[in-house]
Amino acid sequence: MGEYILLAVSCVLVNNILLAQYLGCCPFMGTSKKMETAIGMGMAVIFVLVMAGAITWLIEAYVLKPFNLEYLRTIAFILVIASLVQFVEMFLRKSIPALYKGLGIFCR
C-alpha cells in the first residue's frame, strides 16, 4: 500500500508533465501577443541557455572539480544564470528599448 501512495505522490508532484509544461509556458504566454516580442524573448532565452551551459561547464571543469568544491555546483549555476539574465536585461534596456518595453514584467 505504501508503494501506491509513493507512486501517486511522485506522479502528482515530481513527474507531472503538465506542471512542467505550464512552467515553461509562462514567458511564452506573456510575450506571444506580438511576434516581435515573442522572437525577442526566444532569442534572449536561447542566448542565456547557450552561454549558461558553456560558462557553467567551464566553472565545473576548471574551478569546482579541481578544488573539490562540487557541493557549490547549484549555487554557482544559479549565480551564472542570474548574472546572464541581468546582462540581457541591461543590454535590452540600452540597445533595444522597444523590445525592453514590450517584454514588460519579464524585464523588471
If one counts every other C-beta atom within 10 angstroms of the C-beta of residue 17, the result is 8
* Integer Cα distance of 79 and 17 in angstroms: 27
Which range, of 29-33, 50-54, 65-69, averages the lowest pLDDT?
A: 29-33
Share of the chain above pLDDT 70, in %: 81
Cell of 44: 534572449
- 96 CB burial (10 A radius; 0-12, 13-18, 19+): middle
> For 70-84, what is each residue's pLDDT tens digit?
999 999 999 999 999
Sequence ranges of the domains in the chain: 1-31, 33-107
With a cut of 90, say whether residue 59 has pLDDT above it: yes
**Where is pLDDT greater, at 68 or 43?**
68
Which range, of 21-25, 45-49, 61-65, 93-97, averages the lowest pLDDT?
A: 21-25
**Where is pLDDT greater, at 104 or 65?**
65
